[in-house]
Structure 1
Amino acid sequence: MIKKILNFISDLTKSRIFVIGAFFAFLFVLLIHKVFVLQVIEGESYLESFTYRIQKETELPSSRGTIYDRNGKILAYNRLANSITIEDSSLLETNAEKNEMIMRLIQLIEGSGYETIYNIPIRLYDDGTMEFTSSGNSRLRFIRNVYGKDNIDQLSEEQRNVTVEELFNYMCHGDDSTSMFGIDDSYSTEDALKIAAIRYELYMKRYEQYLSVTVTSDVSDTLVAKIKENTADLPGVTIEQDYVRQYENSKYFSNITGYCGEISEDELEEYRQAGNDDYASGDIVGKTGLEKNFEDELHGQKGKQTVYVDSLGSILEVAERIESSPGNNLYLTIDKDYQIQAYNLLEEEIAGIVLQKLSSGGSDGIDINEVYAAFIKNGIIDLDRMKDKTASELEKNIYAMYESQESSQFETIRHLLDGTNMNSYNGCSEAEREYIELIENIITNNGILDTSKLSSDDETSQLWATGNTSLYEYLHYAIGKDAVQVSALDISDTFLDSNQIYAALTEFILLELDGNNSFSKIVYCAMLNQGMISGQQICELLYEQGVLEKDADYDNLVNNVTDAYTFIYNKIKNLEITPDMLALDPCSGSLVVTDPKNGEVLALVSYPSYDANRIGDAGYFASLLENESLPLYNRAMLQKTAPGSTFKMITAAAGLEEGVITPDSYITDLIVFDKVGTPASCWSTQFSHGSIEVTEAIKESCNYFFYEVGYRLGIDSNDHYNSEYGIQRLRKYMALFGLDRTSGIELEEADPNMSDMDPVLSAIGQARNSYTPSQLARYITAVASKGDLYNLSILDKLTDPNDQLIKDYTPEIIDHIDFKKSTWDSIFNGMYKVIGNSSFYSIFSGLDVEVAGKSGTAQENALRPDHGLFVSFAPFDDPEVTVTVVLPYGYGSYNSGSVAKNMLSYVFHQNEATDGKRQAANVEGTTVSD
């Protein structure tokens, strides 16, 4: 038997099948061994490497170019900062898991004092109501995105008209075809909105796999550590380094630099329609100022990299990397030191005017009670804090009084609406008038009152415009004219009579007023006027709410050592309370400094301003919008006023060049000019300037002299007065000095308004003349250079990241005003004599450089102070700088002249910078009539 087996084996080994079988057996054993190694010995390691090795393409952020002043001092730059980003992780499969993770992330971020991204145009109010914060095409684009449509035209009529509540519900719960974000009702509305905002950003990147969304930026190392500690519970969340835009001495330059922010849907679409596909959701772009206007030059080129990451987002391998490149650098003509000094001088002078006009009651000027009320009206005192759980005892006591007053004030409003109070607007109390104005704003802004359907020729319209009819009568009149849009009142029954419409309108108004911040301000101010809130309590609130830091003045205040009036006076004097905080007249100003030799702008100041570094803070931005001094408004470029007597050099030039006067022509001031139209008086109604020639007329700012020149410009070839002929001749010279166009400065600017009527009134800078400080600055620059008309510029040059020149922005002379030498001499000598005038001599007498200037006063509103203007240049013989100052409602030109003198003193090194302990200027209250 054994022998047979051995023989079989012997035969088998000699067989070809054996060789093949042995080979395959060996391979099988090898395979088993390899599988054992892979699955048992090294299984865990290979599983990690294989399962979570995901290829990911990411963008590398680029830094914006730096903005410098003329001397290379940095105004805007970038710094690296940590950002928290999120991407749609495959490890979270359900909506519930995603929402829970996002909520954990939100709690971590907010618990550390930061806010999460919120770019959806939906606002949630304290009472739980919502509204869209965008309108028109912007709102429709958001709706289109939520419904997943490619364009607006694909929206159904129902979708186009969706309410904000319906759209939010769709985002949370979807419909029969989709669950959308699946945010269940266990979350509060506020939290659900926050989750929806982040889910929306991820939803917008659903076709761009692994592109992350920045949830919050510029976070602390402490928060970074917390995120990393919770990495396992936050799949898809990573820490990335990004660039944050930083502004040096921001408030002085923000009207020039502007600020940056996250790109909006509208902006993204605009860039893409312009063929620029480099931008994506979440990118940072310029929003205003030079940041916006030179976005293409400042914005860098993003890089990209391809990496392999594990489940926690950690990079395992960099497969490919293309570095980003920074943007180009922008050098300005602005002198940083001039700009800061000019801003400080404006603030000090305006504060000085406020102090000079401040009174404890019973006289013209600024009543101290107006100051107390200003803290409420201007949002300096936070009314929401009064009812907060953390409110102080003082705040709680004041709020308790407010609640008792609120119901009675609602009763007052009901009486205005139901006809119980039929007093006309003019016959109402101050608080009642404010309620009426608020109600009109509410129904107009909500699209309920369509004033275009009300004819200004109707008797009731005219009575309303002049304040001579009641609110009740006006609203019934509007309903009768079909000017009340019933559809906007959210009424299901559209077949209503006028009484039913009025009842619905009344209900809408009362609901809108409930919790309305403007309504609350009126009530608090009424309480202040009635003595329910004292001035001392207002002062104490400034400390309670952190507006002021507690100091020795606080102790003196609460211990009745210092009364409220003295306390406020001292705080304004020390600039701890500044004019912009009060928004009383005056609270603003502009100052422009130019070099007449080349048209460069050395300072371009708008007061008040804002901190561009804080613009991303929602609370801070809201306070800027609430501030009635309008810190976001670039007054130097946008605010137009009548030039007043600063215009008279143009009239003098027109008269001299057109031959209607000569340098030796004398005109007798008869005080009242009555040759044509309504008689117009010289500013001096008590005495005549006598018989004077043009230089004396400029010095004395004699209106009668320039009325006569304007009149003579209107005398045609038939020796008849022709107003149209006269204004065209005068407009020719306005245009020669550049007042027919914007100044050339590379920022948004209001269009000038050259008067097109009445050469007599136009000749003194009134009628329809209206210009910005920047336009007046170009005009006086042309005067100082004796005819060189520049497009003013705030740009010096553009360089690449290596500081190699790309473009030189040196201004060019766009025209030259070719006047006779005698004309220029007359203008120069007249402006030189202005400084020798008794009013201005006291201001400029201490200056060791000869100055030429011209003051101007313009009245815009008879109930408010006059605007004050001053244009100047120095040195007189060879001008190096011009200074233009405009103080809206600044009580005339004397104060503007004081600012101009102080600025010139600084430019010519005769006083030091006021960047230490500053105080309000000592304003004398001198009046210059011009």
Structure 2
Amino acid sequence: MVKNKKTDKKFSRYTVFFIAMGIIFSGIISRLLYLQVVMGEEFKKQSTEKNYKNVSKVAPRGEILDKNGEVFATSIQSYTLMFTETTESKESFLTTMDKVFKKLDEKGVAMVDEFAIAIDSSKEPKVRFNFKATDDANRRWMELRFKKDRGIQSIAIKKLYPGKDEKDLNEEELKKVDEELLKISAEDCLNELLKEYDLLDKDEYTLEEKRRLLVVLDAVKMQSYSGYKPVVIANNLSKEVAFLFEQLQPDLPGISVETQPMRYYPNGDLGSAFLGYTSKIDSWQQEKYEEKGYDVSSDSVGKAGLESSFEDILKGTKGQESIEVNKQGRKVKTLGEVEAYPGKTIQLTIDKNLQEIAEKALDDTMANLQKQGRVADVDSTNATRAAAVFMDAKTGKILALASRPGYDPNIFTEGSLSAEDSEKYFNPNLEKMGKEYIESRGLTSIPGVLTEEEVATMSYEDKVNTMLNRMFPLNDSIEGNTTVREDIYDIFPKPFYNYATFTLIPPGSIFKPLTAIAGLEEGVITPDTLIYDDAKYNKRYSDYNGACWIYNTQGGSHGAIDIRKALEVSCNYFFYDVADRLFAKGGESSSGLNYLAKYAWKFGLGVEPGSNIKPSTGIEIEENFGQVYNYESSKNIFANEYINKLVNFMNTGTDSINTTPHYKGIDITKKEEKGSNKEKEAIKKVNEKKTALVDAIKEEMKKETKAKEEEILPKMQDLLKDLIESSDELKAKKYSDKDIEDMAIAINYSIADAISNRISGANAYDASIGQGMNYFTPLQLANYMATLVNGGNRYEMHLVDSIIDPVTGDKTEIEPKLLEHIDLDEEYVNAIKEGLRRGASNDEGTASTAFSGFPIEHGAKSGSSTFNQNKQDSLGRTSYATFLGFAPLDDPQIVSCIVIFDGGHGGYAGPVARAVYEQYFRDEILGKNPGYEFKYPDSREKNSKDATNEKTTENLNK
């Protein structure tokens, strides 16, 4: 057969063409796959290292000024040492960092170190987490976030669910992963990260040196997807050090020196209670700030106080700079720039001069009290915490707000929080501190925390350890915890806790002017009513043990006295009687018990339950808000109190009448749901039955009148039977019908006790002298006194006076806001003010000790309120010293509230008020007495001299 040459030739030409095209396209597709998939991440990274970059320019944060323009917080240009990861800098990272760290050490410059794993060879464990958290919930969250951000979670998932990824797990499984994640120690985390960065086997480095390298590498990784993002190695360099690194740049790939605005607090810890601080954005808040346009890898935000409350106003608007960079990532030149717009200036109502003296006087007064130690019935050696509020009597403007001890906000902005400071502030060694506290004060010999039997029979070492575990127990919310303890009795000072705005304390006798105004306005007394101080106040209740302090300490009496004298000498008996008269006027019912609350609410001492009034003084920073004793709120308080007592009765097989065990004990408290799934379900089932029982008991305790016994007993027996049947452990105890009946009787007795005590007029007696269920902040107390002496106007308290645009000069002033006007009889107010004048000036006045020779007529009330009636002495604590005052008498301008924890007597806080008054009225005092000796020098003159010296130094440097 003859082949068709034409056909073969055609077939051959097309075949070759298609094969060639197939090869070409396959090559193109393969190359595209390689470039986009295989090399995608590398090219993406290289794209961030091009010669041209757009860089955000940080806006200077707005200033915070005092009322006179003195600076509390500002932004300064800081020399910052940066590291940018490029191909070249990555290859020479170790040698570069060796040189950098050597120079930093030589110049005594601390690197920015916010890495949450610390190493301390002197402690166990040597490697530990170091999170900046003041409570356990935050600490737990920080630990989880830290581990997840760094991929440690994969270890927990691999252990629990081999072969699965996070996306394959349900909610319950993810919770188990979190629990497993929390078990991974700091040392194991550190080793995983060192392994990841190929540092684990670098034996030429010590562990501390490896960690130092890791700090930089970790920072690079955490912002690796943000493009041109150098990381900060050191902040606030001196000119000398900055110039040194500029010279060394050719030998240090990736290292550069830049100027950036940095938050600066020129007065150190002055005003830290209201200023707060700025710091890097926490990982759990990243989404919130990303939505607002923040760069979460590098931006700082306000974390507390005004810095946090006014973040949106202070932050300013970022600028943009287009730059050319070299292969080392350093800027060569600017191609174009949009200037950043600075944040707005906040001008405060605070007077820096008064603030300085308030803090200095608090510190000095506490130091004197610590040195004084025990005097008569108080031991003030632990007077280590205090608060003071000074406010304009007529506007709600706060002139000084102090919480001691404070802290220096600069340690956060500079990133130079040392390991020692971090431990002191966020992770104190409570085991060591607690033992030292217990032993140095000889607390093992005082019953209270220990029973009398334990004091008498236990060895000294056992007593110390038992007290340690009761006063500073291990935190059981942390699984497997053997080191983290809690200070449940608030023994040690907490610098980040604002004692002026958060502390809820019983006010003691400084509440008595409120009782006086209620009695006068309700007509149960007049300014001239005489009440005889007749030892113990048992007119209505023979078992009530209340008496005046003069009877308790001297067996004496104040005799027949009116309201003025009662305030001067702080006679408890007089105010018990006022409360009793109000109780009688209200028909010896809840109405009579609520008279004090009715007036207290008008003065801002709590809010009426169910009124929908916002519980706040109006201050712009975070606060607590306390409540006055009132009948409605007392229902919950009494129910909880008597449930706690009942728990003890039922554990021991007793009741409130029979102290001898007469039935098998039972535990009605819920248990932690832990163990296997089966064990957890079993515990959960029992807990549900316990909750049903306790809720039913509380419901009965809250009723206006007690239900009949024949109604209560069967109901409680049924609930007890349900509880017993739900638990194999309880069923094994074989409770008899008699046991269950006696349990129900014990419950019935406790219900009766709770109701009878709740409706007793004795609650009003306790409240009338500022004890019992009254708890307020120093802010609330200052505002109450201002309202009383300024004519009945209660203003919103505020720290900010105006907001100023630093570029245009536009100023927005904050006007005083009237919250409530109270129509007070002028005669009654004058009678109270006269009593407070005597209290501050007369020899018998309880607030007069510190004011001898003070030339401005004023009024004051001191107080002493119990911290813990049963355990106070055994805890090494004593009563709060409280002080409330105003000046001058006839036309009040300034109001003061001082609280010293473990200060003993309110009169001991008087020197703080006097020191601030001296500064406030300095010119007037000198006009009356040019030779007057002030406690503290004129802070205005001191600040003027400091400014002059600073200017001179600046000129010399130029």
- Contact (CA 8 Å) 2:395, 2:816: kept in 1 or not? yes
Q: Pick closer, same or farther for the CA change 1:53–1:832 going to 2, 3 Å.
A: closer
Alignment partner, residue 635 of structure 1:
499
Q: Deviations over 1:598-632 (max 9, x none)?
A: 11111112233233334533134444555944333
Alignment partner, residue 547 of structure 1:
none
Q: Pick closer, same or farther for the CA change 1:830–1:82 going to 2, 3 Å.
A: same
Q: Deviations over 1:282-321 (max 9, x none)?
A: 2222222211221111112221212112234453342221
Q: Deviations over 1:608-657 (max 9, x none)?
A: 32333345331344445559443333222222322111101111111222
Q: Pick closer, same or farther for the CA change 1:152–1:845 going to 2, 3 Å.
A: farther
Alignment partner, residue 118 of structure 2:
123
- Contact (CA 8 Å) 2:359, 2:402: kept in 1 or not? yes
2:132 is equivalent to residue 114 of structure 1: no
3-state SS of 2:103 partner: helix
- Contact (CA 8 Å) 1:68, 1:331: kept in 2 or not? yes
- Structure 1: which amino acid aligns with 2:901? P
Hey, what's the Cα distance between the residues in 2 that align with 1:146 and 1:115? 25
CA shift for structure 1 position 335? 0.7
Alignment partner, residue 396 of structure 2:
599
Structure 2 unaligned blocks of 5 or more: 1-47, 132-138, 155-164, 434-491, 607-614, 635-762, 926-931, 940-958
When normalised by structure 1's length, the TM-score is 0.64
- Structure 1: which amino acid aligns with 2:113? Y
- Contact (CA 8 Å) 2:62, 2:314: kept in 1 or not? yes
3-state SS of 2:87 partner: coil
Alignment partner, residue 900 of structure 1:
913
Alignment partner, residue 621 of structure 2:
747
Alignment partner, residue 831 of structure 2:
826
Q: Deviations over 1:875-929 (max 9, x none)?
A: 2111111122222222312222333233323321135472499xxxxxxxxxxxx
Hey, what's the Cα distance between the residues in 1 that align with 2:108 and 2:627? 49
Q: Pick closer, same or farther for the CA change 1:229–1:835 going to 2, 3 Å.
A: closer
- Structure 1: which amino acid aligns with 2:523? G
CA shift for structure 1 position 168? 3.0
Hey, what's the Cα distance between the residues in 1 that align with 2:365 and 2:580? 38
- Structure 2: which amino acid aligns with 1:110? D
Alignment partner, residue 902 of structure 2:
889
Structure 1 unaligned blocks of 5 or more: 1-50, 367-582, 918-930
Alignment partner, residue 321 of structure 1:
337
Q: Deviations over 1:505-545 (max 9, x none)?
A: xxxxxxxxxxxxxxxxxxxxxxxxxxxxxxxxxxxxxxxxx
3-state SS of 2:340 partner: coil
Q: Which residue, 732, 737, 752 being the options, matches 2:598?
A: 732
Alignment partner, residue 663 of structure 1:
527
Alignment partner, residue 441 of structure 1:
none
CA shift for structure 1 position 357? 4.1
- Contact (CA 8 Å) 1:181, 1:199: kept in 2 or not? no
2:22 is equivalent to residue 222 of structure 1: no
Alignment partner, residue 417 of structure 2:
617
- Contact (CA 8 Å) 1:144, 1:152: kept in 2 or not? no
Q: Deviations over 1:475-503 (max 9, x none)?
A: xxxxxxxxxxxxxxxxxxxxxxxxxxxxx
3-state SS of 1:672 partner: coil
CA shift for structure 1 position 269? 3.6
CA shift for structure 1 position 260? 1.9
Question: Which deviates further from its counterpart, 318-327 or 163-172?
Answer: 163-172
Alignment partner, residue 357 of structure 2:
341
CA shift for structure 1 position 595? 1.0
Hey, what's the Cα distance between the residues in 2 that align with 1:346 and 1:823? 33
3-state SS of 1:197 partner: helix
3-state SS of 1:673 partner: coil
- Contact (CA 8 Å) 1:172, 1:184: kept in 2 or not? no
- Contact (CA 8 Å) 2:112, 2:235: kept in 1 or not? no
Hey, what's the Cα distance between the residues in 2 that align with 1:753 and 1:330? 32
3-state SS of 2:820 partner: strand
Alignment partner, residue 404 of structure 1:
none
Alignment partner, residue 138 of structure 1:
142
Q: Deviations over 1:29-51 (max 9, x none)?
A: xxxxxxxxxxxxxxxxxxxxxx9
2:861 is equivalent to residue 854 of structure 1: yes
Q: Pick closer, same or farther for the CA change 1:240–1:689 going to 2, 3 Å.
A: same
Hey, what's the Cα distance between the residues in 2 that align with 1:182 and 1:354? 50
- Contact (CA 8 Å) 1:334, 1:603: kept in 2 or not? yes
Alignment partner, residue 687 of structure 2:
none
Hey, what's the Cα distance between the residues in 1 that align with 2:305 and 2:904? 30
When normalised by structure 2's length, the TM-score is 0.62
2:192 is equivalent to residue 170 of structure 1: yes
Q: Pick closer, same or farther for the CA change 1:599–1:364 going to 2, 3 Å.
A: closer
- Contact (CA 8 Å) 2:915, 2:935: kept in 1 or not? no
2:455 is equivalent to residue 589 of structure 1: no
Hey, what's the Cα distance between the residues in 1 that align with 2:579 and 2:203? 74
Q: Pick closer, same or farther for the CA change 1:898–1:226 going to 2, 3 Å.
A: closer
CA shift for structure 1 position 364? 8.8
Q: Pick closer, same or farther for the CA change 1:317–1:868 going to 2, 3 Å.
A: closer
2:241 is equivalent to residue 233 of structure 1: no
3-state SS of 1:684 partner: helix
Hey, what's the Cα distance between the residues in 1 that align with 2:190 and 2:332? 40
Hey, what's the Cα distance between the residues in 2 that align with 1:276 and 1:798? 22
Hey, what's the Cα distance between the residues in 2 that align with 1:889 and 1:339? 23
Larger RCO (CA under 8 A, 6+ residues apart): 2
Q: Deviations over 1:390-440 (max 9, x none)?
A: xxxxxxxxxxxxxxxxxxxxxxxxxxxxxxxxxxxxxxxxxxxxxxxxxxx
2:885 is equivalent to residue 869 of structure 1: no
Hey, what's the Cα distance between the residues in 2 that align with 1:661 and 1:320? 79
Hey, what's the Cα distance between the residues in 1 that align with 2:101 and 2:192? 22
Alignment partner, residue 43 of structure 1:
none
3-state SS of 2:528 partner: coil
CA shift for structure 1 position 129? 4.0
Alignment partner, residue 289 of structure 1:
305
CA shift for structure 1 position 353? 3.3
Hey, what's the Cα distance between the residues in 2 that align with 1:358 and 1:697? 28
Hey, what's the Cα distance between the residues in 2 that align with 1:247 and 1:586? 28
CA shift for structure 1 position 88? 1.2
Hey, what's the Cα distance between the residues in 2 that align with 1:297 and 1:830? 46
Hey, what's the Cα distance between the residues in 1 that align with 2:766 and 2:853? 36
Alignment partner, residue 559 of structure 2:
690
- Contact (CA 8 Å) 2:369, 2:381: kept in 1 or not? no
- Structure 2: which amino acid aligns with 1:105? V
- Contact (CA 8 Å) 2:86, 2:328: kept in 1 or not? no
Q: Pick closer, same or farther for the CA change 1:609–1:145 going to 2, 3 Å.
A: closer
- Structure 1: which amino acid aligns with 2:782? A
3-state SS of 2:801 partner: strand
Question: Which deviates further from its counterpart, 116-125 or 849-858?
Answer: 116-125
RMSD of Structure 2 on Structure 1 (CA): 3.1
3-state SS of 1:208 partner: coil
2:515 is equivalent to residue 651 of structure 1: yes
- Contact (CA 8 Å) 1:170, 1:180: kept in 2 or not? no
Alignment partner, residue 278 of structure 2:
260
- Contact (CA 8 Å) 1:173, 1:181: kept in 2 or not? yes
Alignment partner, residue 187 of structure 1:
205
- Structure 1: which amino acid aligns with 2:566? A
Q: Pick closer, same or farther for the CA change 1:100–1:776 going to 2, 3 Å.
A: same
Q: Describe how 1:342-357 pairs up with structure 2 within 5 A.
A: 342-357=358-373
- Contact (CA 8 Å) 1:639, 1:772: kept in 2 or not? yes
- Structure 1: which amino acid aligns with 2:110? E
- Structure 2: which amino acid aligns with 1:143? K
CA shift for structure 1 position 842? 6.0
Q: Pick closer, same or farther for the CA change 1:154–1:265 going to 2, 3 Å.
A: farther
Hey, what's the Cα distance between the residues in 1 that align with 2:374 and 2:531? 42
Hey, what's the Cα distance between the residues in 2 that align with 1:684 and 1:216? 62
Hey, what's the Cα distance between the residues in 1 that align with 2:584 and 2:776? 27
Q: Describe how 1:287-436 pairs up with structure 2 within 5 A.
A: 287-357=303-373
Q: Pick closer, same or farther for the CA change 1:242–1:777 going to 2, 3 Å.
A: same
